[in-house]
Amino acid sequence: MSLSQWSSITPLTPSSFLERSGSVFRNRIAIVDGARQITYGEFAERSRQLALGLIALGVRPDDRVAVLATNGHLMLEAHAGIPLSGGVIVPMNYRLTPDELVYIVNHSGARVILASAEFAAVARDVSARCGIRCFVAEGSPDDYESLLQSAQEASLPERGELDTLAINYTSGTTGRPKGVVYQHRGAYLQALAMGLHLGLTADSTYLWTLPMFHCDGWCLTWTLSATGSTQICIPSPDPNEVWRILRERPVTHFSGAPTVLSMIANAPGAADGPLEKTVQVSTGGAAPSPALLARLAELNIDVTHLYGLTESYGPAVVNQWRSEWDTRSPDERARLKARLGVANVVGGPVRVVDDDGVDVESDGATIGEILLHGNNLFAGYYRNPEATAAATLDGGFLTGDLAVMHPDGYVEIRDRKKDIIISGGENISSLEVEQVIDAHPMVLECAVVAKPDAKWGEVPVAFITLKQFDGELTEHDVIDFVRARVAHFKAPRQVIFGPLPKTSTGKIQKRTLRENLRHEGTE
């Protein structure tokens, strides 16, 4: 008898996780959202009510439902309830302009918008311009709670594991944002991989400092229901609030971009010393500097470096730590943690290829582009087959990230293709220079980008945010500091001090910095 004949085999869908936890962990606290606490039994019931309410509203399988919300119970219920209804969740970046949100709603064909109270006005404006319904938490006349109460008993549609689950829109830094299509199967497997690699269990408490709209919270919006963990929601990763919760609650895990971790490591709350118990933190979006990792280790915060993109359901590569590295020096351990690592358990082999698609030497020096394979790759760009084809090679996804392959099979990122600096014919890794600058004790964070130059073609320029020190750091100090540690041609030719522009997920917006330099040159 073939496996396909067994009646117990059902399509893989992350919706099944909450159904199980709603029973197994019925009385366990699932969500802490401000003063509100919701058990897993209540979480499962509210998500089912949302699904039935959407069906009563006319949502049918494959209909899109947009969500504009901060981290909170509505966003978590949407990730469970919308798929249960047969619908497709379209989580939207709440820092986008109304015009950008209108584009996403229209491009995705969303029929309904769900929104948290903070975005009531924006959501209603967008829904009016798009001609669709909008339901706002704690709002009127279309109240989110009334949608749940309008539920009528009905059969929930069965979804195929290759059906569309979500459409996540990229940031659109090189044009209109692209809709990245997630399937039920990919999200199910990625969610389980995240739980395994981060060590999440029913005894874990996860603090939501990562935006849930970003890659569906790296699929952790479903992972945490699978593991039965408690989730603490805060609207933004305010460092002071993060430290208050870390000191007062039994938090075991949180996630964030290196810039977010840098703010936490240098916040006043860090001055009270290391945490009593080790907190596990996962970071991605950019490579953390060894200096930052060393500082976090002093605070009893253990960091796992992850790598991925929206197109890979979030983290596809994990720095799989090896116990034999525990005996290395603190500096060496920080350097090893800064590397990317290997494919997660549901991914295929991570390759680094040259311009002809040939694997580069595994020598830790030859640079190529990261090519991902595996079960956690997107199904394509929504309504954009040309962009899908352009990003595909040998059945894998070309990431646009440059890296080297080490002899042990671990990948180490060098730069984004668009961020590499070519000065006088020499390639300069902006990441390498940034890691040197980050090691200066007065530097909070930095970014290095290319500036057009008549003689050299491009030269590196450093943008730096300083810590609150009484002393003064000058441009010449920074340049001398870098030149003492790397080849002189890699040192920045100009240093600009001040705050850095960032995306909603904490990534530094290098494109904005490059544009500022170009404008500077034309004035």
> DSSP string of 365-433?
---EEEEE-BTTS-S-BTT-HHHHHHTEETTEEEEEEEEEE-TTS-EEEEEEGGG-EEETTEEE-HHHH
Residue 187 lies in a domain: no
Task: Yes or no: say if 322 and 304 are a contact pair by the CB < 8 Å rule.
Answer: no
Residue 161 lies in a domain: no
Question: Does residue 465 sit in the same domain as residue 349?
Answer: no
Question: Does residue 280 sit in the same domain as residue 391?
Answer: yes
Residue 458 lies in a domain: yes
pLDDT value of residue 414: 85
494: domain range? 420-522
What's 292's domain CATH number? 3.40.50.12780
Question: Does residue 502 sit in the same domain as residue 374?
Answer: no
pLDDT value of residue 7: 66
pLDDT value of residue 124: 95
The last residue of a domain, from among 137, 153, 169: 153
pLDDT value of residue 522: 43
Cβ burial 483-520 (10 Å sphere, 16+ → b, else e): eeeeeeebbbbebbeeebebbebbbbebebbbebbeee
Q: Which single residue is written with the structure tokens 């500096």?
A: 331
Instruction: Give the integer Cα–Cα distance in Å for 124 and 132.
Output: 9
Sheet of 88-91, strand order? 133-136, 112-115, 64-68, 88-91, 164-169, 179-183
Question: Does residue 376 sit in the same domain as residue 463?
Answer: no
Residue 398 lies in a domain: yes
Residue 453 lies in a domain: yes
The last residue of a domain, from among 400, 416, 432: 416
- Per-residue pLDDT of the chain (523 residues), as tens digits, is 455 666 678 899 999 999 999 999 999 999 999 999 999 999 999 999 999 999 999 999 999 999 999 999 999 999 999 999 999 999 999 988 899 999 999 999 999 999 999 999 999 999 999 999 999 997 666 799 999 998 888 889 999 999 999 999 987 544 688 999 999 999 999 999 999 999 999 999 999 999 999 999 999 999 999 999 999 999 989 999 999 999 999 999 999 988 889 999 999 999 999 999 999 999 987 778 888 988 999 999 999 999 999 999 999 999 999 999 989 998 888 888 888 899 999 999 999 999 999 999 999 999 999 999 999 999 999 999 999 999 999 899 999 899 999 999 999 988 888 888 888 767 788 888 998 999 999 999 999 999 988 888 889 999 999 997 656 899 999 999 999 998 888 999 999 999 999 876 778 888 899 888 877 754 4
Residue 11 lies in a domain: no
What's 454's domain CATH number? 3.30.300.30
Question: Does residue 407 sit in the same domain as residue 448?
Answer: no
The last residue of a domain, from among 118, 138, 153: 153
Residue 325 lies in a domain: yes
Task: Name the nearest CA neighbour of 433 among 474, 405, 399, 464.
Answer: 464
Question: Does residue 57 sit in the same domain as residue 128?
Answer: yes
Residue 5 lies in a domain: no
Question: Does residue 216 sit in the same domain as residue 362?
Answer: yes
Question: Does residue 139 sit in the same domain as residue 278?
Answer: no
Name 146's Cβ contacts closer than 8 Å, sequence gap at least 6: 135
What's 56's domain CATH number? 3.40.50.980
CA distances from 92 to 95, 123, 211, 243, 422 (A): 9, 11, 10, 28, 36
Question: Does residue 354 sit in the same domain as residue 434?
Answer: no
Question: Does residue 399 sit in the same domain as residue 425?
Answer: no
Question: Does residue 328 sit in the same domain as residue 242?
Answer: yes
Please tell me the total number of residues recorded for the chain in this structure.
523
Instruction: Give the integer Cα–Cα distance in Å for 327 and 330.
Output: 9
Question: Does residue 408 sit in the same domain as residue 474?
Answer: no
pLDDT value of residue 429: 84
AA identity, residue 288: P
**Total number of domains constituting the chain:** 3
**Element of type H or E holding 107:** helix 98-108
Angle at 260 between CA 255 and CA 265, to 5 degrees: 100
Name 30's Cβ contacts closer than 8 Å, sequence gap at least 6: 21, 38, 39, 40, 42, 43, 225, 228, 230, 231
pTM, to two decimals: 0.86
For residue 242, how many other CB atoms are within 10 A of its CB? Answer: 22
pLDDT value of residue 523: 44
